[in-house]
Structure 1
Amino acid sequence: MPGKPGTCRLQVRDLGVTLEGESILRDITFQLNCREIMALIGPNGAGKSSLFRSILGQIPYSGSIQFQLAGGYPSHPKIGYVPQSPSFDRGYPISVLDFFAAAISRWPVFLPVPGHLRDKVTECLARVHGEALIQKRIGTLSGGELQRVLLALALEPIPQILILDEPLSGVDVGGEHLLLDMLDEIRQKYDLSILFSTHDFSTLRHYADKVILLQQAILKVGTPGEVLHSPEFQAVFHLNLGEEGGCAQ
């Protein structure tokens, strides 16, 4: 169920980013409502990660980024962030339990995890149906399993906005749909907004409420159908998409 303009929202106005004298982003304006899933698409180097880093407060920017609660009151939102999948050495010995416990409590990975902290990790993993992963070694996780662990970490504590940078990268087709179904479940259960980037256009029609086509500036914003069938999309990606979002010959 997509959000409504009258509820809480993230409002980005006239955002610009310049790094080392080079213009990375310019004139970025959009609104993300509560319970909305918004997809960010664009070619490599379009500025998607820089936009995320601006919202996270990691790089300087011009313009404004505001979050408002229902009733129009400005607020500082809790933001959960899932970066592009990091790679782990397959022989890395620590378990998901060790990794998660260290991340949320700074518990040393070389010490046994106490019972109360194990219970907390189990509770967090349950939010993404990942309890069975708790004893697996981080280095042996599949792409989809690793995304579940990182997503569970981003949901502790429960944020108001969840940002995911290429969450489908390294995930097989079956895993993609499981992950996207989970994101849809999470946004409804916890009443949060989701902003994610992707190069997989075939899933947008079924999972995204809005799509932004970005190439340093916003070229097109709208429903998946409006963006994927736009002249702007065809000019950027040189693709003609059929009705279901697949590539047409």
Structure 2
Amino acid sequence: MNQIEKNSMECQTRHKELESNACGLHCIKINHIGVTLGKENILNDVNLHIHCGRLTSIIGKNGAGKSTLLKAILGEIPHEGTIEFKDIKNNVYRDLKIGYVPQHLNIAKNTPTSVYDLVASYISKVPVFFMKSKKTYLKIKEQLKIFEADELIDKAVCDLSGGELQRVLLSIATMNEPNLLILDEPVSGIDQNGMELFYQIIDRLKREYDLAIILVSHDLNYVKQYSDYVVLLDKTIIKEGTADEVFQSNTFYKTFGKLVYMEE
């Protein structure tokens, strides 16, 4: 039996344990996802169950396939395998609604677009200048308030700090009440205070909303502190479990070569 087969058996055992202790109202099943670009195999037989009420973090070295996996889940690239969404409460399959926060949003300097304009343009296809109503304004401000961003509503997007912009993007990503929230390196370039606030908000989201969260991150300190489940990826899942199970494993040390996070 080769290492990939051993890892696959270990993952299947873990998935059975998760199903027997399923929390929340729904489960997302990623079954045998594989991605090949040209002749290069990017992902191979990735199997993962994502439960609501949990923050699942995906870690790995550069080139491990983390972003490719997100693109496959989002349906942006062709892939093998299936992604299923099951509503455990009603025991039925239905369409999966996904909210997505990208790593970067390129905003040109001196762009006059305000936070209100940005959010309003997402709510409706109607041009923003037709939506300058008090009702819409209050609705957007209330949504921003969840992420401690309501005071930014009239601020130009180009003047936002990295942390402020990410909180606005979180507001947008969750407006349609998604079942799955995907965060792709969301705190890249954000200062320490901004990172702390961001992860505190994510922690509150998973506890208070019927929402599953996938985070791709290189910030291993925060992954260890806030994650309910950690997946170590290297084209396939080579280790998964609680943060302690993954971070204390030989597989983790073999992957990163040394202790790359600070003890709490």
Please report the TM-score for the alignment, with normalisation by the length of structure 2. Answer: 0.86
Unaligned ranges ≥5, structure 2: 1-17
Counterparts of 2:102 and 2:128, CA distance in 1 = 22
Tell whether the 8 Å contact from 1:85 to 1:146 is kept in structure 2 after alignment: no
Corresponding residue of 1:185: 204
Which residue of 59, 67, 70 maps to 1:49? 67
For 1:1-249, list aligned pairs within 5 A.
4-5=21-22, 7-71=25-89, 72-109=91-128, 113-240=132-259, 245-246=261-262
Per-residue deviation at 1:194? 0.5
Counterparts of 1:206 and 1:59, CA distance in 2 = 32
Letter of the 1:131 partner, please give it: D
Aligned length: 243
Counterparts of 1:195 and 1:205, CA distance in 2 = 14
Counterparts of 2:126 and 2:154, CA distance in 1 = 16
Counterparts of 1:191 and 1:159, CA distance in 2 = 9
Local SS of the residue matching 1:64: strand
Counterparts of 2:131 and 2:92, CA distance in 1 = 45
Local SS of the residue matching 2:213: strand
Per-residue deviation at 1:111? 6.3
Letter of the 2:58 partner, please give it: L
Counterparts of 1:91 and 1:123, CA distance in 2 = 26
Tell whether the 8 Å contact from 1:17 to 1:62 is kept in structure 2 after alignment: yes
Counterparts of 1:184 and 1:80, CA distance in 2 = 16
Unaligned ranges ≥5, structure 1: none
Per-residue deviation at 1:87? 2.7
Please report the TM-score for the alignment, with normalisation by the length of structure 1. Answer: 0.91
Percent of aligned pairs with the same amino acid? 39
Per-residue deviation at 1:114? 2.4
Letter of the 1:200 partner, please give it: D
Per-residue deviation at 1:32? 1.0
Letter of the 1:59 partner, please give it: I
